[in-house]
């Protein structure tokens, strides 16, 4: 890695924010508190998801971390450097991909765009040319490199954004909703590329509202809502947090399901589209009696399952009160 810091000290967090607050002043009326004391820590080499619904504060946090927006209060460090007082040291460490139409010149080709940005980053002509060629190849753009960006699909533009973010060989990549608006195939391609970038040992902070994406790509996720951290866990750990909502999936006839529904502690029996039924219980302790009954009836197609990240997210974000129930 080429940066002024020399050899990276692995014990320093890639991103470490403390009580970040950001208020937007409204011209009239009340201001908006977009971030209300956000402390997050992202270790080096980690792919960290920043999850939250629209308006949660993800973009505000990403803008602050990318040094384009000042926090109202609180502080943050990137690889040990303070975002505000040492932003000159921070910037070369960062790659920023905000996507959309921003930052690309549609009337220029992909190659011209990248060479332009390489020049802005202070790369010499030869180095810029070489780096551009490498990135065009790495991001599957070589064939169309000399066509105007305005002729590109959304997926190609987004790959070009990613290539631009990688120009200066950053150690920390900030990605804000990179697969937004992409069709499933293009989104998958982009995710694979993000996975490859992470495999090179870079740190990735990925803001998304796509849970499946977070589950596929991220080592850990921080969920935010209304400018506050709701939870910060590995996707699997989050699922475990709601393990009291573990349920039983069983293939059984109506008669047996009716008997199951009559057991104490059973709160719901719902037939699924695939013909199986999901049995919910009030407490994990109640699972035993359900399993006992269905196994005694000779059913072998039965098992327990944990809720996916989607359900965890809904419980934690939309039913904040439930959080105490699951973590307490
Ligand atoms: N420039 C601004 N002026 C006033 N309010 C703003 C401004 N930018 C964001 N906000 C408000 O701050 C809050 C957080 O917005 P932010 O864009 O950070 O959320 P987000 O999680 O990125 O959502 P989205 O996915 O919709 O972009 C929202 O209530 C938003 O309306």
pLDDT tens string 196-220: 999 999 999 999 888 778 888 899 9
Would you give the distance in Å from CA 48 to the centre of its chain?
A: 6
pLDDT at 326: 39
Residue with tokens 């551009």: 132
The pLDDT of residue 238: 67
Length of the chain: 328
Is it the case that residue 292 has pLDDT exceeding 80? yes
Q: Is 4 in the pocket of ligand 1 (CB under 6 A)?
A: no
Position 1 confidence tier, pLDDT thresholds 50, 70, 90: very low
Distance between Cα 213 and ligand 1 center (Å): 22
What is the pLDDT at residue 323?
44
CA of residue 227 to ligand 1 center, whole Å:
9
- Cβ(52) – ligand 1 distance below 6 Å: yes
Q: Verify whether ligand 1 is closer than 6 Å to residue 56 (CB atom).
A: yes
Residue 191 Rama label (left phi>0; alpha psi -120 to 50; beta): alpha
140 CB-contact burial (10 Å; exposed 0-12 / middle 13-18 / buried 19+): middle
- Does the predicted interface ipTM exceed a cut of 0.90? yes
Our mutation pick for probing the ligand 1 site, out of 60, 64, 205, 209, counting the most ligand atoms within 8 A of Cβ, is 60
- Residue 306 has a pLDDT of 74
Going by CA atoms, what residue is nearest to atom 13 of ligand 1? 34
User: What average pLDDT does range 270-274 have in this prediction?
Assistant: 93
Is 57 near ligand 1, meaning CB less than 6 Å away?
A: yes
Nearest CA to 93 out of 122, 60, 115, 66 is that of 66
**Six-digit token pair at 293?**
């009954």
Please state whether the predicted TM-score (pTM) of the whole model is above 0.80.
no
């Amino acid at each position: 890695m080429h940066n002024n810091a020399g050899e990276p000290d692995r014990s320093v967090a890639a991103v470490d924010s403390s009580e970040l607050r950001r208020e937007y002043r409204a011209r009239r009326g009340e201001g908006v508190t977009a971030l209300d004391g956000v402390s997050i820590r992202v270790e080096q080499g980690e792919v960290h998801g920043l999850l939250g619904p629209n308006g949660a504060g993800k973009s505000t946090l990403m803008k602050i971390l990318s040094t384009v927006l000042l926090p109202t209060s609180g502080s943050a460090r990137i690889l040990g450097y303070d975002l505000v007082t040492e932003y000159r040291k921070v910037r070369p460490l960062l790659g920023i991909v905000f996507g959309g139409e921003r930052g690309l010149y549609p009337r220029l080709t992909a190659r011209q765009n990248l060479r332009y940005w390489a020049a802005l980053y202070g790369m010499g002509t030869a180095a810029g040319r070489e780096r551009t060629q490498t990135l065009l190849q790495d991001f599957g753009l070589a064939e169309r490199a000399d066509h105007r960006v305005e002729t590109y699909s959304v997926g190609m533009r987004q790959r070009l954004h990613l290539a631009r973010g990688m120009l200066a060989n950053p150690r920390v990549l900030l990605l804000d909703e990179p697969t937004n608006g992409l069709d499933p195939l293009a989104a998958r391609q982009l995710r694979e590329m993000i996975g490859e970038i992470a495999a090179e040992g870079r740190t990735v902070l990925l803001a998304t509202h796509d849970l499946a994406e977070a589950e596929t790509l991220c080592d850990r996720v921080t969920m935010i809502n209304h400018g506050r951290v709701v939870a910060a866990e590995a996707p699997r750990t989050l699922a475990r947090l709601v393990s009291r909502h573990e349920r039983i999936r069983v293939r059984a006839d109506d008669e047996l399901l009716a008997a199951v529904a009559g057991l104490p502690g059973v709160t719901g029996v719902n037939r699924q589209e695939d013909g199986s039924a999901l049995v919910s219980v009030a407490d994990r302790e109640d699972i035993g009696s359900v399993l006992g009954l269905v196994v005694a009836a000779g059913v072998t197609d039965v098992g327990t399952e944990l809720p996916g990240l989607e359900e965890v997210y809904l419980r934690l974000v939309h039913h904040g009160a439930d959080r105490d129930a699951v973590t307490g």
